[in-house]
Amino acid sequence: MQRQMDKDVLISRLYRTDFKRSIADVFRIQVVSNSDVRSPIITLGSTSFFHVRINNLYVVAVTKTNANAALVFEYCYRFINICKAYFGKIDEEAVKNNFVVIYELIDEINDFGYPQNSEIDTLKSYITTESIVSSSIAAAKSSKITTQATGATSWRRADVKYKKNEAFVDVIEIVNLSMSAKGTVLRADVDGHIQMRAYLSGTPECKFGLNDKLVIDKNEKGGTDAVELDDCRFHQCVRLNDFDASRTISFIPPDGEFELMRYRSTSNVKLPLRIIPSVTEVGTSQVQYTVTVKTNFNNKLSATNVVLRIPTPLNTTSVDCKVVTGKAKYVPGENVIVWKIARLQGGQECTLTATAALTITTTRQVWARPPIDVDFQVLMFTASGLIVRFLKVFEKSNYTSVKWVRYLTKADGSYQVRF
């Protein structure tokens, strides 16, 4: 782990004899000090450097073998998540204040360069920042730790207890759109994940049902109303055989919050908002705008925190904006009109009209017309059409549990319409 500003090595651990500590100097000179390097993987001779940057720190893995790149990056991001779980954040101060614990964690999750158990719940049971407990208590905990770390469910302790048993499921989707000036969809896809918070006693068995018409394999034929997922990745607790057979996710959940599933969808994407821009250049002195926003969901739902960033020419001096819904203003430092709508109900549409005044230039430059960027959030709506049919919890004590399911579709700088 290296610091970006003065390029010092904060944490270093070598697992193979074919490396020397001076390898960090090679990374500092060839990558950190070289502003032209953009790739997260750099190969110099027979040595490959895999790096992830976070808060002016570099987390670097080095190998001389033909390693699985996805596995290496998964390990780096897992290490970052473990540090966040332990220290709340990962920055230079956190690393310096907790370097002893970090060395313990690295040695526990890596053995001779091979990744080992990296479940946060398991690690926290025997690598702790608290004071040392008595030997009798430590012996009792040691037996439980061994069972958990080597058992069939290493991600969960068996003695978890809650007064109120609850399970929260969040289906979160980020919709990406690129639309041409003629209204043709150039790209429309969804990056989604299912986040779960399980506060359940004992060792419960959970069953989680998705759409009946769910197509995972591209060779399968789905109808126009089918939900097609191009790529699915599951938490290790999921029994994949059950999912392939019945589209039911069966699992014993980790305690607390975890990501159950991640997926992508590029077919039958439902676009929450439709943007209709009309931009006309009047000679060399004015640009007239008419931008209409229409919702594509029913009136029981609403879009919140809607923000449109409408580009203006570089030689714009002032903009006169008129809106009925929301607030619009010209931001000269960014050459955009920012239109903010706090809430937009389903079935509603609203329009912005604006006139931009331009300075007269001696040479006329062609305006590149960057796309309009749209940000928004829509609760209880999924752009992919994915829904949770049921969520059941089975436990030998047969307790009653409360289940909550929430859907959220949002765009954050990736929903663009050209004009």
DSSP 333-400: TTTEEEEEEEEEETT-EEEEEEEEEE---SSPPPP--PPEEEEEEEET--SS---EEEEEEE-TT---
The answer to whether the CB of 193 falls within 8 A of the CB of 386 is no
Average pLDDT, the chain: 85
**Would the pLDDT of 144 be above 70?**
no
Adjacency order of strands within the sheet including 248-251: 238-239, 248-251, 205-210, 388-394
**pLDDT score recorded for residue 16:** 79
pLDDT above 70: percentage of residues in the chain: 90
pTM of the model as a whole? 0.74
**Would the pLDDT of 409 be above 90?**
yes
If one counts every other C-beta atom within 10 angstroms of the C-beta of residue 379, the result is 13
* 293/352 Cα distance (integer angstroms): 9
**pLDDT score recorded for residue 131:** 40
* 266/384 Cα distance (integer angstroms): 8
* 70/76 Cα distance (integer angstroms): 10
**pLDDT score recorded for residue 137:** 42
**pLDDT score recorded for residue 224:** 60
pLDDT tens, position by position, 238-295: 888 877 777 788 999 998 889 999 999 988 899 999 999 999 998 888 999 999 999 9
Angle (deg, nearest 10), helices 69-87 and 99-109: 140
The answer to whether the CB of 272 falls within 8 A of the CB of 296 is yes
**pLDDT score recorded for residue 407:** 96
